[in-house]
Amino acid sequence: MPGIALSELAPHDRYKLLCGVVVPRPIALVTTLDENGAVNAAPFTFFNGFSVDPPLVVLGLQHKPDRSPKDTTRNIHRDGEFVVRMVDEALSNAMNACAIDFPSGESEVEAAGLATLPSVDVGVPRLAAAPFALECRRHVVLARSRAAGRRSAAASCPRRLVNKANMHVNIDAYRPIGRMFGNLYSTQRDTFTLTRESHAQWLARFGLATSVEEAQ
């Protein structure tokens, strides 16, 4: 079973491999407020509970390809508050719309036609659609330098599970299970696809012009 040195992969391949291996991931649809009071929403899957006493969740906020922070990151840094909305089957298309690369300042919540409600304890509204919302306050920020990864260790990836040419995981050979609660576990055999649109594709679908730079 050959090892792959994660630190030697290009970041994009490393992302693909880690996302293919660490499955299934819970989905947090995170709302924040921007500096003008507009509600921002974006899905994150480097997310989980971290402890219960005290109750903490952890959120891995990636950067944009140009290393600038995402809107969610900037808003949480400034404001310290965010609401995590869990995603159910009914919310999946709206969640996917919130993953579109809308320009900063343009509200994904409005674009996706999602209604909001006031939260109980934080200033950031929560999405009205079911199911659960976790109102959160920033507790600790971990900002890591890229150099921190230099000593990263190997991932063992059986040849039958990963195509090393493109880092695609063979899910039919992998058959991972997920943890629910109590005595309950889930297979990951019942899957579906959602295609993420670019902002230009989204505009085109509504017959809208995109910005001059994109249209040229």
For the segment 130-169, give every residue that binds a copy of itself (CB under 8 A). 130-137, 139-140, 142, 144-158, 161, 168-169
Separation of alpha carbons 173 and 175, rounded Å: 6
Structure-token pair, residue 142? 């971990």
Q: How far is the CB of 71 from a copy of itself (least distance, A)?
A: 18
**Choices 16-24, 32-40, 107-115, 201-209; region in contact with a copy of itself by CB under 8 A:** 16-24
Q: How far is the CB of 215 from a copy of itself (least distance, A)?
A: 27
Separation of alpha carbons 167 and 90, rounded Å: 31
Binding of residue 115 to a copy of itself (CB under 8 A):
no
**Using CB under 8 A, which of 163, 164, 194, 204 touches a copy of itself?**
194
Q: How far is the CB of 28 from a copy of itself (least distance, A)?
A: 8
Separation of alpha carbons 203 and 197, rounded Å: 10
- Decide: 123 and 33 in contact? Cβ < 8 Å: yes
Binding of residue 126 to a copy of itself (CB under 8 A):
yes
- Decide: 143 and 151 in contact? Cβ < 8 Å: no
Which letter does DSSP use for residue 63 in this model?
Answer: B
Q: How far is the CB of 115 from a copy of itself (least distance, A)?
A: 13
Closest to a copy of itself by CB, 3 or 105: 3
Separation of alpha carbons 47 and 45, rounded Å: 5
Closest to a copy of itself by CB, 38 or 57: 57
| Touching a copy of itself, residues 42-101 (CB under 8 A) | 45-58, 60, 62, 86-90, 92
CA atoms within 13 A on the CB side of 156: 1
